């Protein structure tokens, strides 16, 4: 399994995921820098992603939407706040209208840092996301719902069994 560690901080609404990929740092960076590659891995098969704009440079913006099973579109925007190619990039993620690209409201939904470092001939990637509120988290999950539903039921089941 490429995921080597998952740390969540409930109070800080933070999730940190560490993964090992069998490819050099530059290759992993390329995947993130190229919207055509990124959209192949970004959304689950039931919510494929389309990047209409993507610029992995400080001050750059990405615009993407995910298409749900019934054709509904969920738009999002990244504002790149720091980029240190090929080691890391940081961005604020917001919901936006998938046509006008008007941000849903002023607040970012999450602040994220993705970092890549060489490890054993491959890459150790650390993905950190800090969510602004539990509502923000909820909205993110609504976008990835299909995959999330099973997990949520397992959680409830485990809770009730405890």
With CB under 8 A as the contact rule, the residue among 42, 60, 88, 103 that binds other proteins is 42
If binding means CB under 8 A, how many residues of this protein chain bind other proteins? 41
Q: Report the nearest approach of other proteins to the CB of residue 159 (Å).
A: 7
DSSP string, 12-58: TTEEEEEEEESS-HHHHHHHHH-HHHHHHHHS-TTS-EEEEEE--ST
Select from 57-65, 76-84, 92-100, 151-159 the region that touches other proteins (CB under 8 A).
Answer: 151-159
Q: Which is nearer to other proteins, 42 or 101 (CB)?
A: 42
Phi, psi of 12 (to 5 degrees): -95, 5
Task: Tell me if 57 contacts other proteins by CB under 8 A.
Answer: no
CB 25 within 8 A of CB 31: no
Neighbours of 28 (CB within 10 A): 19
Distance CA 63, CA 51 (A): 6
With CB under 8 A as the contact rule, the residue among 37, 50, 85, 119 that binds other proteins is 37
Q: Which is nearer to other proteins, 80 or 125 (CB)?
A: 125
CB 116 within 8 A of CB 29: yes
Task: Tell me if 130 contacts other proteins by CB under 8 A.
Answer: no
Distance CA 156, CA 25 (A): 38
Task: Tell me if 107 contacts other proteins by CB under 8 A.
Answer: no
Task: Tell me if 25 contacts other proteins by CB under 8 A.
Answer: no
Q: Which is nearer to other proteins, 58 or 137 (CB)?
A: 137
With CB under 8 A as the contact rule, the residue among 52, 82, 107, 153 that binds other proteins is 153
Task: Tell me if 162 contacts other proteins by CB under 8 A.
Answer: no
Q: Which is nearer to other proteins, 23 or 52 (CB)?
A: 23
* Structural tokens at position 96: 């936006």
The strand pairing partners of 77, in sequence order, are 63, 94
């Amino acid at each position: 399994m490429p995921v080597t560690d998952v740390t969540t901080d409930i109070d800080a609404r933070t999730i940190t995921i560490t993964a090992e990929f069998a490819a050099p740092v530059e290759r992993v960076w390329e995947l993130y820098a190229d919207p055509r590659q990124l959209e192949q891995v970004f959304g689950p098969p039931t919510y494929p992603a389309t990047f209409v704009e993507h610029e992995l440079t400080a001050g750059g913006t990405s615009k993407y939407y995910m298409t749900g099973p019934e054709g509904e579109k969920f738009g999002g925007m990244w504002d790149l706040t720091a980029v240190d190619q090929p080691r890391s990039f940081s961005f604020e993620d917001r919901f936006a209208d998938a046509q006008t690209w008007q941000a849903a409201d002023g607040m970012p939904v999450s602040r994220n840092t993705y970092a890549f470092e060489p490890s054993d001939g491959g890459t150790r990637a650390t993905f950190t996301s800090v969510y602004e509120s539990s509502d923000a988290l909820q909205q993110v999950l609504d976008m990835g719902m299909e995959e999330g539903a099973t997990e949520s039921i397992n959680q409830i089941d485990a809770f009730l069994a405890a």
